[in-house]
Structure 1
Amino acid sequence: MASSRPIKRNEHIMPLSREHHMGLLFCWKLRQGVKREIAPDRIRKYINYFWDTHLKQHFEEEENILFNQVKHKFCDEAIVQHQQITDMIQRINTAGKEVPGIYTSLAALIDQHIRFEERELFPYLESALSAKSLSNIGIQLKNMHAVTPVDNYQDEFWVKV
């Protein structure tokens, strides 16, 4: 039986793990929107809000601060996944009409990506990087995350009324 205990994360990369939790909530909200048959345009607007205020910066931080510390297939895979997510969001915005299933596909892709990073990539980096490297990463992330990010999108379509 698999353990349901939370994964213990190195304190220096905790800001990224906290954002992952927020990303999982984002996926849940997308799924709720689809389940409740919310107008696709409302969901798309939320996707763009989340991309612009959270996800894009999160990807840049991971790639520029964390993944460039060591050459490894897990880092390469995470970057490929970032691009797949970015491409799907662009597709959502450039499609002339709604693509069936694309919002649940995006939620599944992001969910899978977060779980890959938390279960495979981050544990690898925690063991591969020196304490000094992790500390330097932590200092950079702390400076960037002086304020805890919040998802304060006004149109809470995922909430039952």
Structure 2
Amino acid sequence: MKRHEALTPLSHHHHHALVVALDFKRAGTEKSSKSYKTLIEEMNEFWKEDGEPHFQDEEMILFPIYLIYAEEPDEALVKKALYQHTKIRGLVKELRSLPIKNYDKLNELGHLLDEHIRLEERELFPLIEKAVPDESLYEAKGGYHKDSVSGR
């Protein structure tokens, strides 16, 4: 799907997160060669370097400009995305504090990340592209963090 140039960095972040989500969804199955410890370390690194900063980019920069410019913003969709952000944060926090391995929680995180990214890419970003003027999208782009993998 062709994305507005100013949203491309966020889509690159999403691609990176989908790779991470796939590892989490496979955790504890024959499809995974990574240990639980390695996956938790990767989760912590991803969250610190990309996950939390990405959510902040959306919450503090992108979603507000959408709500400003959209004549009839899809508030339910924004609320759903924000709820998913909160749920993902909660799962990361919970996984960090668990004293024992919990593949079910790691799988849940992977599925929720995947669902969340697809919601934004397929539903929310197209609405944002239609509602927000190019100039404002480009201005917003200047505030996004750089993805640790793609450098965008």
- Determine if the alignment matches structure 1 residue 97 to structure 2 residue 96: no
Letter in 1 for 2:42: Y
For residue 120 of structure 1, what is the aligned residue in structure 2? 123
Q: 1:18 is matched with which residue: 6, 9, 12?
A: 12
TM-score by length of 2: 0.83
Change (3 A) 1:149 1:46: closer
Q: Give the distance between the partners of 2:142 and 2:36, measured in 1 at CA.
A: 40
Change (3 A) 1:8 1:138: same
Q: 1:111 is matched with which residue: 103, 114, 119?
A: 114
Q: Which runs of 5+ in 1 are unaligned?
A: 1-6, 152-161
Letter in 2 for 1:16: L
Q: Give the distance between the partners of 2:36 and 2:122, measured in 1 at CA.
A: 32
Matched residues, percent identical? Answer: 29
Aligned pairs for 1:1-161 within 5 A: 7-35=1-29, 36=32, 38-71=34-67, 72-141=75-144, 144-145=145-146, 149-150=148-149
**Range 127-136 or range 44-53, more displaced:** 127-136
Q: Which runs of 5+ in 2 are unaligned?
A: 68-74
Counterpart of 1:43 in 2: which secondary structure?
helix
Q: CA deviation at 1:29?
A: 2.3
Q: CA deviation at 1:49?
A: 1.1
Counterpart of 2:142 in 1: which secondary structure?
helix
CA contact (8 A) 2:25 2:111 kept: no
Letter in 1 for 2:125: F
**Range 71-80 or range 48-57, more displaced:** 71-80
Q: Give the distance between the partners of 1:8 and 1:17, measured in 2 at CA.
A: 10
CA contact (8 A) 2:25 2:108 kept: no
The Cα RMSD (Å) is: 1.9
For residue 71 of structure 2, what is the aligned residue in structure 1? none
Q: CA deviation at 1:21?
A: 0.4
CA contact (8 A) 2:27 2:103 kept: no
Q: Give the distance between the partners of 2:5 and 2:34, measured in 1 at CA.
A: 38
For residue 155 of structure 1, what is the aligned residue in structure 2? none
Q: Give the distance between the partners of 1:100 and 1:131, measured in 2 at CA.
A: 43
Q: CA deviation at 1:26?
A: 0.7
TM-score by length of 1: 0.79
